[in-house]
A and B are shown apart, each in its own frame.
Chain A
Amino acid sequence: MTTMTDHVAEAPSGSFKLSMLLNDTRYRSLTFQFIALVAIIAFMAFVGGNLVRNLAEAGLNISYAFLGEPAGYDINQRPIEYDSQSSHGRAALVGLINTLIVAFLACITATIFGVIAGVLRLSNNWIVSKLMSFYVEIFRNVPVLIWILIIFSVMINAMPAPRDFRGDDATSSMLFDLFAFTNRGVFAPAPQFTNSFAATAESGPTSTGLDWLLVVGALVLSFFVARAIGSWATAKQEATGDRPTTWYLTLAAWLLPVVLVCMFLGLTWNVPALKGFNFQGGMQVRGSLIALWFALAIYTGAFIAENVRAGILAISKGQTEAAAALGIRPGRIMSLVILPQALRVIIPPLISQYLNITKNSSLAIAVGYMDVTGTLGGITLLQTGRAIETILLLMLFYLTISLLISFFMNIFNNRMKLKER
């Protein structure tokens, strides 16, 4: 649109009239911007003046000091240490980590659901493709909040209570004696380390952040070693024409460091067991987390399925036929020819679906999962009454997460892009 007003022939020079500021294309955009600037400042003045007056009238001020004060409430799902004496700031941090946990889990699961459903919807198998269309249409056209509430209600009402697992005539039993699905959530074995950094002589097996850092470090090491093996094999293939068999080397590179670290730390599993009225030990994944995770995954999966389907349909049929003419099997045509090309079409909408999951995870407040909306925007807001500060912080959190995700995904997207001349 810039071209619309440029390159106007030199206007006849005459006396400058004030209306030229409005009617002459040479000055008009400056005039408009000046008016816009004045309007923005006037709007700020209006809003800011009201804010100052209203705050003064209510005897409030803008202060973030409450973040250092003790929160005084408990959070049932806490990935880092937290008790009711911890500060509001730490409660917000716990909530932020909980948001990231559920968003991460839901992104992975939704991608799996979406890719499977999207590919199967294009299948030649009539009944399978119809079943997948049914799934996509049903889940896309109903609000995610309703799905969250349905799954949560099922978790609460239809799962057996822990007491059903007791006694000889128990109506429910644990899966493989390791997992217990109850109306209080799912109990699963938790990994612990006998030689943990946090372990003292009397504490027994435990785990701390440092242990997990070590495990993650081992995985990062494995990643680089596996990549080195891959590039070595490629170099050898280009030099000799034969690709050496590397799958056992890669497997070893992935397994060996982690196994060694686990042996060094002394990995044991803390298996949940029924004690008293509830299961003790192990890892408790609450119904609220499962409801949120599963609902977000299955809802967003339906959207991702549509993106995947559109991406695959965007690849011309000639590609499939050419691959078939080369004698490649149908499964490999999909994985070697179609999907790599379709990914370029699929990834941009996939990014926005991930962003949607992160933002929709704020619906946690409807089922009582303590994400950042539940802690900072929920209980902290109610207890301190500092609406403006908490909501601004909350928006800042989500804005940062959104901008970071789109930043990294854009980098990835650019690297995936076709290099065109």
Chain B
Amino acid sequence: MADQNISFVRHDQIPPSPPPTSAAGPVKWARENLFSGPVNTIMTLLAIFIIYRLVAGAFPWFWNGVWDADSIRECRDILTAAGKSTGACFAVLVDRWDHLLFGFKYPATEYWRPTLAFVLLLFAAAPALFYKYVPRKFLLFTALYPFIAFWLVWGGSLWVPVVILVSIIATMFAFRAVEGLDVNMRRILAGIVGLASGLGLAYLLYQGATELWFISNSVGTGGAFAAISSYLFKAASIFMFVFFIPMGIFVGYAIYDDAEGGGLVTIVTSLFVLYALLAYVLGPLSSGLNSVIPLELQAVPSRDMGGYMLCMILGVVCVSLSIPLGILLALGRQSSMPLIKGVCVVFIEFIRGVPLITLLFVANVMLAYFMPPESNFDLILRVIIMITMFSSAYIAEVIRGGLAALPKGQYEAADSLGLNYTQATRLIILPQALKISIPGIVNVAVGLFKDTTLVSVISMFDIVGMIRGPIQQSTDWISIYWEVYLFAALVFFVVCYSISQYSQWLERELRTDHR
């Protein structure tokens, strides 16, 4: 029998042998990910070739870079002396470091101020950016930061921002105080405030009416278009003239009539208090305090701002101003009131239809014509106004998307709770809509920050303006380009890439669906 001849029977299992080297480890990974087919192999080889060319071209240039030279000629001499055919002149970055960061007019002894303001910016932004992980009380510093930063960057007396801050706090206290008054006191206060604002408004409207009449007389000559616009201005003037007294009486009486329950008295009174403090107390008080306790930094005028600092100032100021403005525009565009909706739509579509450069031209040469002759806005302020308008239109569109994405049930639920428009918007609608819009808002912010380089076109000396002007046209560093532009690209990349990474992190953080 055959089975008697079996000399060996295995009782245990053979241990599994390791997979062949071609099916495990890096080789397997490479086979699956890089060389899985002829097309893939060709693409991999092509990619490796491109990377090789980039590295082979750039690496010696970086490695041979000269960091210590006074001019591009000296730098090239050093390279030739060392027998190197290629090499970067990073010496320009060392030589012009201050210019690239702060512009060429900011006083050199004061560089610590914008640097400190920048460091503090990180601390001020942290409670807002990482609100879950930073205690809420640090938001107080965020609220104080604009005043600190303004004082640090522009200098001047410390008492000016302090008095402004105190005025705002005093206004808030006035708001609380009026809210707490009893009915009779409110009546009296409402009578005074109503009379004052009614008279003030009537006076303003009367001024407007005469102004319109003045315009209509000066455009009236020449051509049918001028004649038509003249009549339009006349009609508007008459409209204003007819309504100036009724509007004044109406507003004054409405405030008085509102005294018992409404918040109108409180708001208007607080505004009066704020105006009075800023217009009549700010100047004398701050100069008085300054003469007693002089706390002053060297004042730096706006036109001396430059370099990367200017991009930072424009980016931070315009983004923070344009978010509230964008929210208002988006709400206006969603409004059921045709006039307000129309104004918002025209504004948003107009701004989005024209390039930022034309708006900067407006800031540069045109805006002055629309301001009163004695007013003296400096260029940086005009640019801030235009860039803020520009980005608020884009942010409004992003937020409108967020508002439209909310289910209708949310609006209806807010209605059914008996919330009024302000309460519903503040408590129900905006928190959800803003959450949806965060990635879009961050995209706009990054885009805006990149667009701040455009101010170099209207001869402001931001980092690109510094490179194109004082650096490339100097005899020392004539027409040097790779080193400086790569540096500029690097500083923008660091900021923009971090912001976009933050936005992706926040998106994951805010995700409330269960995944």
Taking CB atoms and an 8 Å cut-off, the chain A residues in 20-59 that contact chain B are 21-23, 29, 32-33, 36-38, 40-42, 44-57
How far is B240's CA from A33's CA once the two chains are assembled, in angstroms? 15
Beta-carbon contact of B373 and A57 below 8 Å: yes
Can you list, as one digit per residue, whether each of B485-500 has a CB less than 8 Å from chain A (1) or not (0)? 1101100110011001
Taking a contact as CB atoms under 8 Å apart, the answer to whether B368 and A54 are in contact is yes
CB <8 Å contact, B497 and A145: no
Say which residue of B209, B237, B353 sits within 8 Å of A403 (CB atoms): B353
The verdict on B424 contacting chain A, using a C-beta distance below 8 Å, is yes
Please state if B44 and A128 are interface contacts (CB–CB under 8 Å).
yes
State whether the Cβ of B254 lies closer than 8 Å to any Cβ in chain A. yes
- The answer to whether the Cβ of B250 comes within 8 Å of any Cβ in the partner chain is yes
- Cβ A45 vs Cβ B236 within 8 A: yes
A 316-358 contacts with B by CB, 8 A: none
Interface set, chain B 371-424, CB cutoff 8 A to A: 371-373, 411-412, 414-415, 421, 424
Which residues of B lie under 8 Å from residue A41 when comparing CB positions? 208, 212, 236, 239-240
User: In the complex, which residues of chain A have a beta carbon less than 8 angstroms from the beta carbon of B357?
Assistant: 362-363, 365, 373, 377
A18/B250 contact (C-beta < 8 A), A54-B368, A403-B353 known: yes
Minimal beta-carbon separation of A258 from chain B (angstroms): 33
Expressed in whole angstroms, the minimum distance between the Cβ of A28 and any Cβ of chain B is 9
Kindly list chain B residues whose C-beta atoms are within 8 Å of the C-beta of A15.
Answer: none
Q: Judging by beta carbons under 8 Å apart, are B493 and A141 in contact?
A: yes
B479 within 8 A of partner (CB): yes
Q: Are A399 and B340 closer than 8 Å at their CB atoms?
A: no
Give the complex CA separation of A391 and B357 in angstroms: 10
A32–B411 CB distance below 8 A: no
Give the A interface residue count (CB, 8 A): 75
Given contacts A391-B362, A398-B358, contact A125 B34 (CB under 8 A): yes
Say whether A141 contacts B500, CB under 8 Å: yes
Question: What A residues does B337 contact at CB under 8 A?
Answer: 29, 32-33, 36
State whether the Cβ of B273 lies closer than 8 Å to any Cβ in chain A: no
Query: Is there an interface contact between B340 and A32, defined as CB atoms closer than 8 Å?
Result: yes
Contact across chains for B339 and A45 when beta carbons are under 8 A apart: no
Q: Which of B48, B218, B414 has the most CB of A within 10 A?
A: B218
* B residues near A143, Cβ cutoff 8 Å: 450-451, 453, 464, 492
Residues of B close to A56: CB separation below 8 A:
218
Q: Which residue of B lies closest to A132 (CB)?
A: B47
Known interface pairs A4-B414, A391-B358; A50-B372 also in contact (CB < 8 Å): yes
Report B-chain residues with C-beta under 8 Å of the C-beta of A120: 43
Contact A33-B339, Cβ < 8 Å, known A137-B497, A388-B366: yes
Query: Which residue of A52, A131, A366 is within 8 Å of B219 (Cβ)?
Result: A52
A1 near B258 with CB under 8 A, answer no
Q: A170 an interface residue at 8 Å Cβ cutoff?
A: no
| Binary flags per residue of A111-131, CB closer than 8 Å to B gives 1, else 0 | 000000000100111111001
Name the residue of chain A whose CB is nearest to the CB of B472.
A153
A327 CB, min distance to chain B CBs, angstroms: 17
Closest A-chain residue to B338, C-beta based?
A33
Residue B14 at the A interface, CB < 8 A? Answer: no
Q: Which residue of B lies closest to A134 (CB)?
A: B51
User: What per-residue 1/0 map shows which CB atoms of A373-385 lie under 8 Å from chain B?
Assistant: 1000100010000
Q: Which of B212, B240, B258, B412 contacts A48 (CB 8 A)?
A: B212
Given A388-B369, A391-B358, A366-B457 contact (CB < 8 Å):
yes
> Is B469 positioned at the interface, with any CB of A under 8 Å from its CB?
no
Contact string against B for A residues 141-161, beta-carbon threshold 8 Å, 1 for contact and 0 otherwise: 111111101100110010000
Residues of chain A lying within 8 A (CB to CB) of residue B240: 38, 41-42, 45
* A240 adjacent to chain B (CB < 8 Å): no
Residue of A nearest to B256 (CB): A19
Evaluate whether A4 and B421 lie within 8 angstroms (CB atoms) in the complex, with A47-B370, A142-B496 already known. yes
Cα distance A17–B450 in the bound complex, in angstroms? 54
* A413 lies within 8 A of chain B by Cβ: no
> Are A42 and B205 also in contact (CB < 8 A) when A22-B254, A157-B481, A362-B358 are?
yes
Task: Check B468 for interface membership: any CB of A closer than 8 A.
Answer: yes
A42 CA / B206 CA spacing, docked (Å): 10
Contact A360 B355 (CB under 8 A): yes
Interface of A is mostly: helix
Contact A157 B215 (CB under 8 A): no
Contact A399 B366 (CB under 8 A): no
Given known pairs A41-B208, A41-B212, A362-B355, the reply for A391 and B33 (CB within 8 Å) is no
A270 within 8 A of B: no
Most chain A Cβ neighbours within 10 Å, of B239, B337, B368, B468: B337
How many angstroms between the C-alpha atoms of A138 and B32 in the bound complex?
Answer: 28
| A23 in contact with B258 given A41-B236, A142-B493 (CB within 8 Å) | yes
Chain B residues with CB under 8 A of A37? 339
Partner of A1 from the list B336, B479, B481, B486 (CB cut-off 8 Å) is B336
Give the shortest distance, in Å, between B305 (CB) and chain A (any CB): 18
Contact A399 B350, beta carbon cutoff 8 Å: yes
- Please state if A54 and B497 are interface contacts (CB–CB under 8 Å): no
Residue A259 at the B interface, CB < 8 A?
no
Whether, in the assembled complex, B335 has its beta carbon less than 8 Å from a beta carbon of chain A, the answer is yes
By beta carbon, the residue of chain B nearest A42 is: B208
How far in angstroms is the closest Cβ of chain A from B53? 12
CB pair A46–B457 under 8 Å, yes or no, is no
Are A126 and B34 within 8 A (Cβ)? Answer: yes
User: Using Cβ atoms and an 8 Å threshold, which residues of chain A touch B482?
Assistant: 150, 153
Decide if B365 is an interface residue (CB 8 Å cutoff).
yes
A37-B339, A387-B369 are known; give 6 further A-B pairs, CB within 8 A.
Answer: A22-B262, A36-B340, A38-B240, A42-B208, A127-B34, A149-B485
15 pairs from A and B in contact (CB 8 Å cutoff): A1-B335, A4-B421, A19-B253, A21-B250, A29-B336, A36-B343, A50-B369, A54-B368, A123-B43, A127-B48, A143-B453, A146-B488, A359-B355, A365-B357, A365-B457
Please name the 3 residue pairs, one residue from A and one from B, whose CB atoms are nearest each other, closest first: A19-B257, A153-B481, A141-B496
